[in-house]
């Protein structure tokens, strides 16, 4: 897969908005067709970190929370923001512990995701967590979470049907499933873990 | 999966930014822990529509383009914005034709995605397109696209490894794979198509 040159030209940029989580900017650009235009970009100040914990007997743990943006309740894998510059694995270990109380003895990197690349620069990193030790969760103060244990196969069905719709959750569950069931018709070759 | 009540309270809202594709607003809120705070929300003016075309001999078509937000080249399924209110299937048929020149005789709904629900309200709809008739592509003026044909199994491997990282593409390819290979260990039950 060959990268090509950037066909966009940026002539100027201005900051529109800045809060602890995002920065919005508007660029004056020359588009690929040679015409002037604008591009509004939403920059994320954290990486998105998602974890699929899988127990020895094949269960996973989902986290339920109300999503303010969608005005709807959402069942998801344990996930949250990881500071850019801190190793994603370290953030994954902290996030899993905070949201579920789980610590894991074995971690597998499940690759990268760009959640919404027409407008945002958000990057997600996914992990499979195994050899689980259960403990007490300590969610962040803005979070009100439920935790539910279910067979991974059942969660995968929800991810396929769209009943689980959060992109990081769908991708994490399906990548974990294929990693754990290499007979499912496709071979999984992981890329290098980002340092 | 039981919905719970909204634990957030919105006290006021103001518009921060508005362009043809997104609207950014900042809400003054009472958080689930009872404390005051802000929430910056990026509203999308279009749905994200993604299509996985699969030929009779099991090939799919990927579209390559430079993503301005990520400053990187990205191989993806045919996808684009569909006006909210227009049936997602209609937008999918238009988008597939524009980007690849393909028309399809058989369409299957592959469910919903929320791409980045901590900050945006973006909703994606995915489709499998079969019984393909090839023609001429007519991309939008801002797009400079390459189209590449490859076995679906190969594209699925890229989606698993993270080499394909666009969330709509990863989910579309994996859902299409499971829909077409129901022996892969999980049964796929699609939800109702949204009207």
Position B65 scores a pLDDT of 93
Burial of A12 (0-12, 13-18, 19+ CB in 10 A): exposed
Q: Helix, strand, or coil here: B175?
A: helix
Q: What is the pLDDT along chain B (195 residues), one digit of tens a residue?
A: 445 689 999 999 999 999 999 999 999 999 999 999 999 999 999 999 999 999 999 999 999 999 999 999 999 999 999 999 899 999 999 999 999 999 999 999 999 999 999 999 999 999 999 999 998 777 776 777 899 999 999 999 999 999 999 999 999 999 999 999 865 444 444 444 554
* Chain A contact set for B171 (CB, 8 A): 167, 170-171, 174
Q: What is the model's pLDDT at position A1?
A: 43
Q: What is the pLDDT of residue B5?
A: 83
Residues of chain B contacting residue A70, judged by C-beta atoms under 8 Å apart = 114, 117, 121
pLDDT at B195: 47
- Read off the DSSP letter of residue A44: E
- CB-based contact, A192 to chain B, within 8 Å: no
- Judged on CB neighbours under 10 Å (0-12, 13-18, 19+), B71 is exposed
Say if CB A109 and CB A81 are below 8 A apart. Answer: no
Q: Side-chain half-sphere of B5: how many Cα atoms within 13 Å?
A: 4
C-alpha to C-alpha distance for B174 and B11, rounded to whole angstroms:
41
Write out residues 36-95 of A within 8 Å (CB-CB) of B: 37-42, 44, 48, 64, 66-75, 81
Per residue in B140-168, pLDDT tens?
A: 767 778 999 999 999 999 999 999 999 99
**How far apart, in whole angstroms, are the C-alpha atoms of residue B127 and residue B50?**
6
**Residues of chain B positioned with their CB less than 8 A from the CB of A7:** 66, 144
Residues of A in Cβ contact (< 8 Å) with B167: 113-116, 124, 167-168, 171
Q: Residues of chain A with pLDDT > 70: what percent?
A: 89
**Residue ranges of A 116-145 with Cβ closer than 8 A to chain B:** 116-122, 124, 141-144
Please provide the average confidence, as pLDDT, over all residues in chain A.
91
> B134: distance to nearest CA of chain A, Å?
23
Confidence band (pLDDT; 50, 70, 90) for A22? Answer: very high
Residue A78: list chain B partners with CB under 8 A. none
Report helix, strand or coil for B31.
coil
Whether pLDDT at A195 is above 80: no
Best of B125, B161, B177, B190 to substitute, by most chain A Cβ atoms within 10 angstroms, is: B161
Residue A140 confidence (pLDDT): 72
CB contact under 8 A, A16 and B16: yes
CB A138 within 8 A of CB A49: no
pLDDT in tens, A143-188: 778 999 999 999 999 999 999 999 999 999 999 999 998 654 444 4
Nearest CA in chain A to B10: A68
Contact (Cβ atoms closer than 8 angstroms) between residue A100 and residue A109: no
């Amino acid at each position: 897969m060959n990268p090509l040159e950037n066909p966009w030209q940026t002539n100027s940029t201005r900051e529109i908005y800045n809060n602890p989580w995002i920065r919005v900017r508007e660029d004056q650009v020359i588009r690929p067709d040679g015409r002037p235009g604008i591009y509004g970009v939403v920059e994320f100040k954290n990486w998105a970190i998602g974890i699929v914990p899988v127990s020895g007997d094949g269960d996973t743990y989902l986290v339920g929370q109300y999503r303010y943006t969608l005005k709807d309740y959402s069942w998801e894998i344990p996930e949250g923001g990881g500071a850019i510059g801190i190793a994603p694995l370290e953030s994954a270990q902290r996030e899993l512990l905070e949201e579920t109380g789980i610590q894991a003895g074995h971690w597998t990197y499940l690759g990268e995701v760009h959640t919404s690349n027409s407008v945002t620069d958000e990057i997600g990193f996914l992990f499979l967590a195994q050899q689980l030790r259960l403990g007490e969760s300590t969610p962040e103060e803005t979070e009100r979470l439920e935790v539910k244990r279910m067979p991974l196969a059942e969660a995968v069905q929800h991810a396929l049907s769209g009943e689980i719709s959060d992109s990081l959750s769908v991708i994490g569950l399906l990548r974990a499933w294929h990693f754990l069931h290499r007979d499912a018709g496709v071979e999984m070759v992981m890329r290098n873990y980002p340092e």
